[in-house]
């Protein structure tokens, strides 16, 4: 069993399977960028996009055949999160369980965080960057 590391992102088997299928269906794509952007009723939203380029401040997480790229600003908001693929009634998709979120909107699409400084003091990131 894998040990939980609060300075990382954790992906469920279903999430990895979902992302693997997406990558297999997109010719030439090998990486998925995960990030946050200001949007939504609670302040921030998660986003996903195919991306083959990365910078020196990106955190790279590889699990099975999936490679995820996360910029340093987004990673501060995301570290410690669990990423899952869920089916709820007629809806299915990726869902974040983010311990840094202080509020989540009713639809679950956006979230808020008190302060990035609070996050940094709670978890001292020691993730290796490639």
Domain boundaries along the sequence of the chain: 10-122
The C-alpha torsion from 88 through 43 and 47 to 35, rounded to 10°, is -120
Q: Which CATH architecture has domain 10-122?
A: Sandwich (2.60)
- Model-wide pTM > 0.95: no
What does each of the 130 residues of the chain score in pLDDT, given as a tens digit? 455 455 689 999 999 999 999 999 987 788 999 999 887 666 888 899 999 888 999 999 999 889 999 999 999 989 999 999 998 888 889 998 888 888 777 666 677 877 554 444 443 333 333 3
- Which residues have CB under 8 Å from 96's CB, separation 6+? 46, 78, 81, 82, 83, 84, 111
């Amino acid at each position: 069993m894998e040990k939980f590391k609060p300075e990382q992102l954790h992906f469920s088997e279903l999430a990895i399977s979902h992302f693997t299928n997406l990558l297999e269906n997109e010719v030439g794509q090998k990486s998925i960028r995960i990030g946050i952007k200001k949007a939504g009723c609670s302040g921030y939203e998660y986003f996903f996009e195919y991306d083959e380029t990365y910078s020196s401040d990106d955190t790279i997480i590889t699990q099975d055949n999936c490679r995820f790229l996360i910029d340093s600003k987004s990673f501060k908001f995301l570290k410690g999160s669990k990423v899952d693929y869920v089916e709820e009634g007629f809806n299915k998709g990726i869902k974040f369980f983010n311990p840094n979120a202080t509020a989540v909107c009713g639809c679950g699409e956006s979230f808020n965080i008190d302060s990035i400084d609070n996050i940094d003091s709670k978890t001292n990131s020691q993730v290796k960057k490639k």
